Amino acid sequence: MSVRAMGMMKTNTETHMKIAIASGKGGTGKTTVAVNLALSIPDAQLIDCDVEEPNCNLFLNKELERIAESKITVPNIDEELCTHCGKCSEMCRFNAIATLPEKVILFPTLCHSCGGCILACPEYAISGKEKITGIISRSSNKKDHPMLYEGVLNIGESMASPVITELKRSIEPGIPTIIDSPPGTGCPVMTTLEDTDHCILVTEPTPFGLHDLKLAVKMVKIMNIPFGVIINRSEQENCIIDEYCDQENIEVLMRIPLNKRIAELYSDGIPFVEEMPEWKERFTNLFERIVNKKELA
């Protein structure tokens, strides 16, 4: 392959690269990494998929505009047609419909919108009704860097995944994309990581951090996503995380030291690359390394 062709390919991968920042344990520094990384890549967009607790914009202060809503379909029962036969409740495996002798009670937060009750009703008494469960917003200034997309799950709603799916549907294709994931290893995280090219797992050098990192590693392996680790609040090399990564042949991509200045900037909502420019370069290099690795693979 000619150097020129390789160059073109690089641009191509770079523009399409979707990198998710995940962790297992909460509070290890996902948002810190996502925001600082996005700020260090020209033309990147940042997607805040932690829809239960979206925090990226606390560090960016963008003016946002609402661009979409996430909706789920819940049953709407026509009481006149309903004979209280109970077939809908029988069909519903999520216990979202209870049929009493003279009444049907709905539990919309348990509903998974599978449409089973609508199919099962012999009287055609059930139709689907849209319910808004979350809001999708985006930087209103198109010249913003990074462009920020954010989803927020409405208070009292239980299912984060439909909001994340709608959010991911709204983003711009063809530009480098940094995705801030929710913590854990459950459905919202898997919905976030689906179709991403690379995952950065952020952890801290404590037994809790190590334990939850192992769970997150299992998850990305099952999902077949290439990944590396960032150790946040690092106090020394050769910590318990290094030992584990060595054993498992996992690349430690970066170490962010336990540093009072970084912690203070974080607590005030200031991305540390803005005050410590040497870090911007490190994040830019990190991004390039991930892109190059993807090309080699």
Partner 1 sequence: MKELVVISGKGGTGKTTITASFAAMAQNAVIADCDVDAPNLHLVLRPRIVETNPFYGMDKAEICLDRCIKCYKCQTACKFNAIDDDLIVNQHKCEGCGVCEYVCKASAINMIKSRSGDVHSSITDHGTMVHAELEIGEEASGKLVSAVKERTRSIALENKAELIITDGPPGTGCPVLATITGASLALIVTEPSLSGMHDLERVLQVTEHFDIPSIVCINKYDINEKNAGKIEEFCHKREIEVAGKLPYDPSPNMAMREETTVVEYRKNVLSEGIKALWERVVSELEKQ
Interface residue list for partner 1 (CB under 8 A):
24-28, 31, 51-53, 55, 58-59, 91, 93-94, 109, 112-116, 119-120, 153, 155-160, 182-190, 204, 206-208, 211-212, 215, 218-219, 222-223, 263-264, 266-269
Look at the alpha carbons of 168, 29, 153, 219 in this order and tell me if their dihedral is positive or negative: positive
Between 99 and 185, CB nearer to partner 1: 185
Give the residue among 179, 185, 164, 180 at the shortest CA–CA distance from 24.
185
Between 112 and 129, CB nearer to partner 1: 112
Smallest distance from the beta carbon of 122 to partner 1, in angstroms?
A: 13
Between 179 and 291, CB nearer to partner 1: 179
Smallest distance from the beta carbon of 3 to partner 1, in angstroms?
A: 40
Between the alpha carbon of residue 194 and those of residues 19, 129, 165, 223, the distances in Å are: 11, 28, 10, 8
Q: Which stretches within the chain are classed as H helix? A: 3-16, 30-39, 56-60, 87-91, 116-120, 161-170, 187-193, 207-222, 240-248, 260-267, 272-275, 277-296
Smallest distance from the beta carbon of 190 to partner 1, in angstroms?
A: 6
What is the 8-class DSSP label of residue 184?
B
Residue 237: both structure tokens together: 């090399």
Smallest distance from the beta carbon of 139 to partner 1, in angstroms?
A: 18
Between 170 and 206, CB nearer to partner 1: 206
Please, are residues 70 and 86 in contact by the beta-carbon 8 Å criterion? no
Smallest distance from the beta carbon of 6 to partner 1, in angstroms?
A: 34
Between 103 and 261, CB nearer to partner 1: 261
Q: Which residue has the tokens 């020394």?
A: 236
Smallest distance from the beta carbon of 292 to partner 1, in angstroms?
A: 29
Residue 16: both structure tokens together: 């399409």
Between 91 and 252, CB nearer to partner 1: 91
